[in-house]
């Protein structure tokens, strides 16, 4: 089944209402909110590389309030254990049974703050749940439910005492972006409401978590023309063939692009994906997946440079609009 124009119009209206609601707490960052919301509806996860105090926690709380979900915050530190994230099985002397006590990962929106400060062993505790929305403890599998979004953060400035995220972990983030600082006019509005320390607490719920899952399923029915699929594959192959890269975009990265492009198209009121949708999403979806050659990186080449070069070298098709 393919999404109909009527369903696309409904999706666009609902998506805009969700962005408007979150924007009340995270003022002036509609593009970031839309991107994070798109990642959630594509059932992916977000990596935010930002300085402290830019509104990352407010974003997570506002999203959870908007979809009637739950939110949790995990402060990653060097002594954090995997069980502190996933949960632990404890023997109950009263019932004489082992009972599983859920960790903070069991929430609709999980903020993994400064994820690169934890050891690789603890970071890997998120691999299964980010990929399959479930965890396995003592041989027993536990589902975390839908929607499930991990918003991980890392400080781009302070690198002392941090562990670089491995490529396998980075590849599991659907998008990488940053909130950044507000402009002057928005900063004045934020300061005017400084007395309200938790603006997300006053946000009305727009839809239920069940409706979010339905929106995610509906977005999966957006039509993608074979020419757009070929264009995406050609772009991914071009990143792998670029002389400045050691590792280009993986198959997982290509699949992630198609998933989020479907949501992006539906948010524009379309039931089909355009090549321009892929172009608009290439930077946040693919730059963090590239591993550059050290010599090229030392010479000043960045992932953004490679992406720009790839977009110029691969011609976009004139795809049909719908099936």
Q: What is the pLDDT along the chain (323 residues), one digit of tens a residue?
A: 889 999 999 999 999 999 999 998 888 889 999 999 999 999 999 999 887 777 888 899 999 999 999 999 999 988 999 999 999 888 888 888 888 899 999 999 999 998 888 888 888 888 888 888 898 888 888 999 999 999 999 877 766 667 778 787 888 899 999 988 888 888 887 788 766 667 777 788 899 999 999 999 999 999 999 999 999 999 999 999 999 999 999 999 999 999 999 999 999 999 999 999 999 999 999 999 999 999 988 898 899 999 999 999 999 987 454 54
Structure confidence at residue 159 (pLDDT) = 63
| Whether 291 and 281 share a structural domain | yes
Structure confidence at residue 5 (pLDDT) = 92
| Whether 168 and 308 share a structural domain | no
| Domains identified in the chain, total number | 2
Q: What are phi and psi of 91, to 5 degrees?
A: -80, 125
| Whether 173 and 298 share a structural domain | no
Structure confidence at residue 63 (pLDDT) = 93
Q: In this structure, what CATH number is given to the domain that contains residue 235? A: 1.10.8.80
Structure confidence at residue 140 (pLDDT) = 86
| Whether 155 and 227 share a structural domain | no
| Whether 74 and 167 share a structural domain | yes
Q: In this structure, what CATH number is given to the domain that contains residue 143? A: 3.40.50.300
Q: Which domain holds residue 108?
A: 1-221
Pairing of strands 149-154, 109-113: parallel
| Whether 283 and 145 share a structural domain | no
| Whether 205 and 262 share a structural domain | no
What DSSP designation does 181 have? -
Of 187, 205, 221, which residue sits at a domain end? 221
| Whether 38 and 53 share a structural domain | yes
- Select from 295, 61, 48 the least CA-distant residue to 199: 61
Structure confidence at residue 260 (pLDDT) = 97
Of 167, 193, 221, which residue sits at a domain end? 221
Of 167, 192, 221, which residue sits at a domain end? 221
User: H or E element: which one contains 308?
Assistant: helix 303-313
| Whether 227 and 217 share a structural domain | no
Identify each DSSP E strand in the chain by its residue range: 46-49, 71-75, 87-92, 97-102, 109-113, 134-137, 140-143, 149-154, 175-177, 245-247, 291-292
Strand-pair partners of 88: 101
| Whether 107 and 180 share a structural domain | yes
| Whether 278 and 160 share a structural domain | no
Structure confidence at residue 320 (pLDDT) = 55
| Whether 46 and 118 share a structural domain | yes
Exposed e or buried b for every residue in 190-226, given b needs 16+ CB within 10 A? eeeeeeeeebbeebeebbebeebbebbebbbebbbbe
């Amino acid at each position: 089944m393919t999404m109909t124009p009527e369903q696309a119009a409904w999706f666009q209206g609902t998506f805009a209402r969700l962005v408007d609601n979150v924007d009340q707490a995270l003022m002036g960052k509609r593009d970031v909110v839309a991107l994070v919301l798109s990642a959630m509806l594509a059932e992916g996860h977000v990596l935010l590389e930002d300085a402290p105090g830019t509104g990352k926690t407010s974003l997570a709380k506002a999203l959870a309030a908007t979809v009637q979900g739950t939110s949790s915050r995990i402060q990653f530190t060097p002594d954090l254990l995997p069980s502190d994230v996933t949960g632990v099985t404890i023997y109950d002397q009263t019932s004489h049974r082992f009972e599983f006590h859920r960790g903070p990962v069991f929430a609709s929106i999980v903020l993994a703050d400064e994820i690169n400060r934890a050891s690789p062993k603890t970071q890997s505790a998120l691999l299964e749940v980010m990929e399959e929305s479930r965890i396995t403890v003592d041989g027993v599998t536990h589902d975390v439910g839908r929607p499930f979004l991990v918003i991980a953060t890392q400080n781009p400035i302070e690198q002392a005492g941090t562990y670089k995220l491995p490529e396998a972990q980075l590849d599991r983030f659907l998008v990488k972006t940053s909130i950044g600082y507000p402009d002057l006019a928005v900063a004045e509005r934020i300061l005017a409401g400084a007395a309200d320390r938790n603006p997300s607490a006053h946000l009305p719920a727009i839809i239920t978590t069940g409706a979010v899952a339905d929106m995610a399923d509906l977005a999966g029915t957006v039509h993608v023309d074979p020419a757009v699929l070929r264009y995406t594959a050609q772009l991914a192959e071009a990143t792998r063939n670029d002389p400045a890269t050691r590792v280009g975009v993986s198959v997982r990265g290509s699949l992630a692009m198609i998933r989020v492009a479907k949501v992006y198209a539906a948010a524009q009121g379309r039931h089909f994906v355009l090549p321009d949708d892929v172009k608009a999403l290439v930077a946040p979806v693919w730059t963090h997946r590239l591993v550059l050659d050290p010599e090229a990186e030392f010479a000043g080449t960045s992932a953004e440079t490679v992406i720009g070069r790839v977009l110029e070298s691969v011609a976009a098709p004139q795809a049909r609009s719908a099936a």
